[in-house]
Structure 1
Amino acid sequence: EALTREAKAAVRAAVENEQPFFLYMAHYAVHAPFQADPRFSEHYRDSGKTDPAQAFATLIEGMDKSLGDLLAQLDELQIAENTLVLFLGDNGSDAPLGHEHQVASAAPLRGRKGAHYEGGMRVPFIAAWARGHADNACQQRLPIAAGAIQPQLAAVYDLFPTVLAACDIRLPAGLPCDGQRLDRLLRGQSDPEHAQTFLMHYPHAPHRSDYFTVYRQGEWKVIYHYYPSPASEGSHYQLFNLERDPFESNNLAAREPQRLRDLMDGLREQLQAQGAQYPLAANGGPLEPQLPPPQL
């Protein structure tokens, strides 16, 4: 609530001074340790959930109220039509429910924050003009399809060039930009030119998943485990088809050896292109991912 009050004051000051504004609103209460928001505790008292889960639910409801208050202020200040709202998370769900590598806190997806499964990697993302109006010049520059669901792959870093374009700002010369504009995707269309690859590299420990690299190419996803463990089914490799199996319940590594090898080639190339760091091997050198044999 304190953050909401400060955010509203900053927005009001910008409008009164006739200045454009960028508001980054991070509701960090939705984070461990989970301390219940007493305004909403009674709503979950009889839910049958654990105390931490009930506390988490109150924090989510508090965030929802905060966003509602901010949107109401945009209407009050008569700037809703000119205000682009982007709502997203920076990692998968961390709700204190179930095991971190199973279907639980991010159900129906497997895993949670910090995990190499989709429940730890996919994030909610909603884009909208605070009040839609087809004749608004800003909205004509970046039309957003109302009520559309976009299944095509995109990443958080795609927001940077998208927002610059919406504000009619050129990318500064010489500034690297990893992302691609989301214009066509936000219109509800497919974009064949948008990258269909994604790399997530975590060469560290300890966390809910340790020492891993994930590489996605279209509907296929490979997880490479630098140190096989029971959590990785005792193997370096896990391979999933996310279109047919978004819940990552069927490891295809043994049945699709050529597909696995092709994705591992892409994974290694991406790591090299990014100058990635690797875990340390027993001899002190870098422990780089290994290609699987032609047949497992």
Structure 2
Amino acid sequence: MDIKQKTSLFAVITAFILASSKFSVGFISGSLAIISSSLDSLLDTFMSGMNFFAIKKAGQPADDSHQYGHGKVEDLAAVAQSVVVVFSGVFIIYKAVESYMNSVTITYSLYDFLVMIISLALSFAIVLLLRRIGKQTGSNALLADALHYTSDLFSNSGAILAIALTHYTGNIYYDLLFAIIIGCIIIFSAVKIARSGISGIMDSSISEKMTKEIERIIQEMPFPAVGFHKLRTRHSGSTKYIDFHMLFCKRLLIDEAHELANNLESEISREVKNADVVIHIEPCNYECDLTEATCTIRLGRKT
């Protein structure tokens, strides 16, 4: 089990504990904010579980049917999660309004506060862990999970405020208000998750910052490398696919050009995690003295 799978499994277990604790407290107190927060955590449990299996599948090596690997499983999981999250947000808002209209009685205890504060601390810890590992591995699934738990931070904070305000004022309007806010935050998070997943499915290019870093590495290649063009990038799950045409001095032997291209691929892979680099070698067609000092393309690139 790799670091991504371990992180995802940890999120599943923690989310289940949070959901169970908050639902018990919310059921006893009748708090809409706590119940809505527990539903959010229950969804996190389900979706973190989905992520766990998606990450496990995505990590399988390429086969005859999937020669580019299974990375898009992570992106598909992210899109599927976003649909479920939207419905949960709408449901929370609907139940909040319905309960307010029926004048449901709400009671709180010190235990309610303690459970929500502990939930807030655990959610914050999970967000930090998922973001760190997600960025290290380039996993869309883990970053999508981090968004879920970020919404938990807001929902837990809202539930705590709702408990305090309702307890001291006796007005259940605050519980309704924060339940609606939590629902809206969940829906907004779902949209961000969907955009991330769809981006991977549609073979969107990698970030502009990363692309510029790749260009910098290529341009630092010494003579007899003289230029490049047709740089293309895309990402599938955690893998970044990079390909471009590299121009070499036409007097260079094929095996020498191949070795230089391999070195360049290795250099890019060191800087870009989970990179799959393909370089097409092309001969330079310019006429010159065939030295670094007189190479027409390199001189043109410097000016």
Structure scoring higher RCO (CA < 8 A, sep ≥ 6) equals: 2
TM-score computed with the length of structure 1 as normaliser: 0.27
TM-score computed with the length of structure 2 as normaliser: 0.27
Structure with the larger helix share: 2
* Rg (Cα) greater in structure: 2
